[in-house]
Amino acid sequence: MPLGGTIVNGIIRDFKAIGHHGTREAHGRANGIDPELALFLGCWLKAPHRIGALAPSSRYLARAMVRQVDVRQARLVIELGGGTGSITRALLAAGLTPERLVVVEREERLHRRLVEQFPGLRVLRGDAAQLVALLRPLGISSASAIVSSLPLLSMPKRLRHRIVDQSFALLGERGSLVQFTYGIASPLPARDFAVSGRVAARVWRNLPPAFVWRFERASGAIAKVA
């Protein structure tokens, strides 16, 4: 087994064995494990199909994602799957003001952590598959860009379609959906989705290496919201 796999398996074994020592975060601090990684792994162990990764996005991946957004001109940016806040921090550090950013996170513990980290930010707990309805109480009906860390490839195709339809109902014809994936293939192949996409960045310094895709609505496609 590759060294990386051995390390990951060792971390997983450790986290599965620490339930009687209190919270995973507290145990992580006591044993020199980064609390952010501890929280992320705890959520992964609880629902791996929802998290889709064993570690938070690196600062290199976060910066590559943010470079796909014109933070100076964007009216509103929506982040899907805020996780532990690495991409949120990068967006704010790049100059996106808090009032022009909305973060959506479904996992309760991750949502709570984001609220604590970014007290002046609108952090919503909810499902990206219901994005339009989730944003409606805020008076939001459009966005310049959506930055997503959702594990699209591990989702059923019907759910992926729902999230894409919801996203482009907000993005319109000019907005962009920025999505990263660990695989080489597009997470939204043109044969299945009414979008056009390209690899905008390759991040070799992430663990594992990641590909950043940028998608726009395909010419002539009509937004659908069920």
Q: Which of 179, 160, 165 is nearest to 133 (CA)?
A: 165
Query: Tens digit of pLDDT for each residue in 57-100?
Result: 799 999 999 999 999 999 999 999 999 999 999 999 999 999 99
Note down pLDDT in tens along the chain; length 226 residues. Answer: 444 444 445 444 444 443 434 444 444 444 555 565 555 555 545 555 554 455 567 999 999 999 999 999 999 999 999 999 999 999 999 999 999 999 999 999 999 999 999 999 999 999 999 999 999 999 999 999 999 999 998 899 999 999 999 999 999 999 999 999 998 899 999 999 999 999 999 999 998 899 999 999 987 665 565 5
Residues 214-226 pLDDT 10s? 999 987 665 565 5
The secondary structure of 101-127 as a DSSP string is: EEEEE-SHHHHHHHHHH-TTSEEEES-
What's the pTM value of the predicted model, to 2 decimals? 0.78
3-state helix, strand, coil in the chain (%, to 5): 45, 20, 40
Q: Which amino acid is at 108?
A: E
Distance CA 16, CA 138 (A): 40
CA distance 217 to 226: 17
Which ranges of 17-154 does DSSP label H, i.e. alpha helix? Answer: 24-30, 35-46, 48-51, 59-66, 86-93, 108-117, 131-135
Task: Report the C-alpha gap between 168 and 215 in whole angstroms.
Answer: 10
DSSP letter at 218?
A: P
Partners of residue 215 on adjacent β-strands:
177, 197
Q: What's the mean per-residue pLDDT of the chain?
A: 82
